Amino acid sequence: MSLDISFIGILIGSIMASSVPLILAASGELITERSGVLNLGVEGMMIIGAISGFALMVITDNLFIAIVGSMLSGVIISLIFGFLTQSLLTNHVATGLALTIFGIGLSAMLGKNFVGIPGKEFPILFSSLRESIPFFGPILFGHSIVLYFAFALPFLTNYFLKKTKLGLIVRAVGDSPVSASNQGINVILVRYCCILYGGAMCGLAGAYLSLIYTPQWIENMTAGRGWIALALVVFATWSPIKVLIGALIFGGITILQLHMQAIGFRIPVQFLSALPYLMTIIVLVVISRDSRKIKLNTPTSLGRIFYKEK
Amino acid sequence: MATDLRISNISKIYPGCIANDNVSLQFKSGKIYALLGENGAGKSTLVKILSGVISPDNGEVFLNEKNLKLSSPLDAKKNKIGMVFQHFNLFETLSVFENLSIDATEDNKSLRLRINEIFKKYNFSIDLDVPVLNLSAGQKQKVEIIRCLLRSPKVLIMDEPTSVLTEQETEELFISLKKFCDEGILIIYITHKLKEVLSLCDEVAVMRKGKVVSVSQTQNEKVETLANKMVGQKLAKIKKKINISKNKDEIFKVKHLNFYSDDPFETNLVNLNFSVKKGECLGIAGISGNGQNELFQILSGEIITPNTSIIFRNKEIAKLNPKQRREYLMAFSPEDRISQAAVPELKIYENVALNNFKASNFFEKGLVNERKIKDHSKKILSDFSVNTDNVELKSQFLSGGNLQKLILGRELITAPELLICYNPTWGLDVGAINYIHETLIKINDQEKSTILISTDTEELLKLSDRIAVIYKGKLSKIMSSEEVTSEKLGVLMGGGSID
């Protein structure tokens, strides 16, 4: 088998495509966690996004409605989480786990009639450039709008957190909700917004899977990507750019090890399948080993319930 | 413009406790007002009401005869009431500038300019771009104060501001507060430290059990009169009979204690040598941060240093860990009650069980003997007059004084031969301080020894038989308390020499 340069370009393009759902979900969850809320329901919100996007596409035959609808469904299901944890003060971890289990079950039920229906082709941008430029063509062009958005998102998130007033408020709430409240910041409102935003991004990540990446509905099609996204946020020490790096490594090794399996390397298949997880963790741990930075980036109040004094 | 703040008939009732009972007070700008009271007297509740954090059940607040609706901290801000809380309301992981800009309405550039103006005016200097967690307590407090000043406040409320400050920082704070006062800011100073009231404030209101019991000019008051008002009864004066006899046995002897650390926040200790006799109290004075932390940790066995010799009851114990040292009848009371001496989330009896001895039989065959621990805990609670008999109570709900009594009780009920305490009365009110002091004297009367590491010179002069001063990790010569005065100690604590 020849590893010519255009093949590598296509390979990189496919790696990018496979890491999109991780980038979207992890960027959303990062904002949620930065406000001090630990939402373990990422997997559940993603799968709900996947089925609602696909179902809306089949029903309305309109991809725009499908995409927006998937985000809205993510918002609605994360609203349940927000209401429970912020208004009824339930435990974040237990509520998040319940949300995932609920999401997987609900999506299977809703999706029963959609199994086996073929998806619709999602429009790609600059497809002519993709063919005409060798190597860089397949990397830079011929992707869906969602992919371009996903790759811009970590940078936008970084800018939002570091440079804007609202980002400062989100970080402040995550650092010390009591102080924030005493400064007159509406902690509950800020956290609700961050939870809903996280839900929207997870919904979009799910829709990317069912509408663009593998355009069809398969039960449990997120296949643990939500958990990977959660782990990425933690191992990237809440830094959006490192989330992007982590997602690319994970996507990259997943694709590479598939090729290695196909070629027939003499390495146990189980080890190759475990490789993406291992490598992602190792790389992220190594690039974020500065303990001072970890301390500054970690939302101090993560997962803790906030009571307002009366 | 003059400011006039009036509180009228404020009441706040929590289940099982009347925090504020019909409190009425009046404050005018140009003066510094003290609000004095023991822990739990209702001072903090009152200032939380004034800053809009909690709302009162009853009563009104008037600022220049305008009735204020303080239903959130924003309302207090809008009405130019600034507040510096005892537990800082800062965002530790954000930079100083971010902390200050979070509720600013102007752009970053003009904000920086204004902050620099304040720095110049009051002689502050803090790096704006470091995270707050790198600052000292005094610097953090300055950030809080600057945050208030940026909103050009009419009223500035300081809640127990000196409890975390060194003496040097306290002095600086007082100078700033007097400046603010001269500029027409009305200052309300909440404290339980009597001396601060007398040296800083013009007028003092004393609170007890949620009520205002007295309002007076500080020039007409003395430490004793204020203390009696605060506690509501006459406090006995405590002074130990100094007891130095040459022929008593040395029970504890430290030789060649050296400690070197790479951590810039730790102090190196240089060749400390001292001994303690039976029934004696050795006081170690010094401004905090001169090596007391490290000394305490080495004496208690948390840090083991090489080449040091510690002889206790004729045994070499320098290599033993705290638990082993306890078995030899040493006892320890660390400075930080909440995080070092006790676990706040655990119940009282569970905290008692942490101090587990072979002799105490708290654990049998790996199982917890709950009844035994509870009986033992009840005995501590009653013997050391802790203000509860409920051993199931979580330790975090005890006030500082009661927690300290519990800790001392836990340490003393095994009748140790040597008790080492570090700032045992830190942050406590006079009633509790008196009790702790009496207890420490009683220990010496029973021919047991104590080492008292303290930053409070008055306490040291009251309790010690001999005193040494620690400065930058070095120990001065050990002096008899009879020949020492607080002036002499002050000179030594500042690094001077008295010979």
Residues of chain A contacting B131 with CB distance shorter than 8 Å = 296
Give the residue, B294 or B414, on which the prediction is more confident: B294
Q: How far is B133 from chain A (nearest CA, A)?
A: 9
What is the mean pLDDT of the segment spanning B344-350?
87
Give the residue, A210 or A266, on which the prediction is more confident: A210
Both tokens of A138, joined, read: 């397949």
Is A82 in contact with A96 (CB distance < 8 Å)? no
Q: Which amino acid is at B51?
A: S
pLDDT classification of B61: cutoffs 50, 70, 90: very high
Give the residue, B389 or B312, on which the prediction is more confident: B312
Backbone CA torsion sign across B321, B327, B330, B334: positive
CB contact under 8 A, A184 and B93: no
What is the mean pLDDT of the segment spanning B403-421?
89
Number of other CB atoms surrounding residue A89 within 10 Å: 11
CA–CA dist B487, B499 (Å, integer)? 13
What are the φ and ψ backbone dihedral angles of B146, each rounded to 5 degrees? -60, -40
Q: How far is A290 from chain B (nearest CA, A)?
A: 15
CB contact under 8 A, A172 and B102: yes
Structure-token match 């191992």, residue found:
A235
What CATH number does the domain located at B4-231 have?
3.40.50.300
Q: What CATH number does domain B250-329+415-493 carry, 3.40.50.300, 3.50.50.60, 3.40.50.1100, 3.40.720.10?
A: 3.40.50.300
Residue B199 CB contacts under 8 Å (≥ 6 apart), including other chains: B174
**Is the pLDDT score of B30 beyond 60?**
yes
What are the φ and ψ backbone dihedral angles of B105, each rounded to 5 degrees? -100, -15
Q: Structural domain boundaries of chain B?
A: 4-231, 250-329+415-493
Same fold yes or no, B4-231 and B250-329+415-493 = yes
Q: What pLDDT sits at residue B208? A: 86
Is B269 in contact with B258 (CB distance < 8 Å)? yes
Nearest residue in A to B130, CA atom: A296
| Mean pLDDT taken over chain B | 87
Transcribe B82-100 into DSSP letters.
EEE-SS----TTSBHHHHH
Give tens-digit pLDDT for B357-387.
666 778 877 788 888 888 888 988 888 888 7
CA-to-CA separations, B409 to B230, B381, B404, B442, in angstroms, rounded: 25, 8, 8, 13
Give tens-digit pLDDT for B101-138.
988 888 889 999 999 999 998 888 899 999 998 888 88
Angle between helices A63-82 and A92-111 (to 10 degrees): 140
Nearest residue in A to B51, CA atom: A182
A-B C-beta contacts closer than 8 Å: 59
CA–CA dist A94, A200 (Å, integer)? 21
Least confident of B82-86, B213-217, B314-318: B82-86
CB contact under 8 A, A295 and B93: yes
Give tens-digit pLDDT for A246-303.
999 999 998 888 888 888 778 888 888 888 888 888 888 887 777 777 888 888 889 8
ipTM summary value: 0.83
Q: How far is B176 from chain A (nearest CA, A)?
A: 23
Nearest residue in B to A294, CA atom: B93
CB contact under 8 A, B103 and A183: yes
Strands across the sheet with B58-63, in order?
A: B17-28, B4-14, B58-63, B66-68
Distance of CA B273 to the CA centre of its chain: 29
Q: How far is B53 from chain A (nearest CA, A)?
A: 6
Using a pLDDT cut of 70, give the percent of chain B over it: 96
Nearest residue in B to A178, CA atom: B89
Both tokens of B229, joined, read: 């008002």
pLDDT classification of A1: cutoffs 50, 70, 90: very low
What are the φ and ψ backbone dihedral angles of B40, each rounded to 5 degrees? 85, 10
Transcribe B281-328 into DSSP letters.
EEEEE--TTSSHHHHHHHHHTSS--TT-EEEETTEE-TT--HHHHHHT
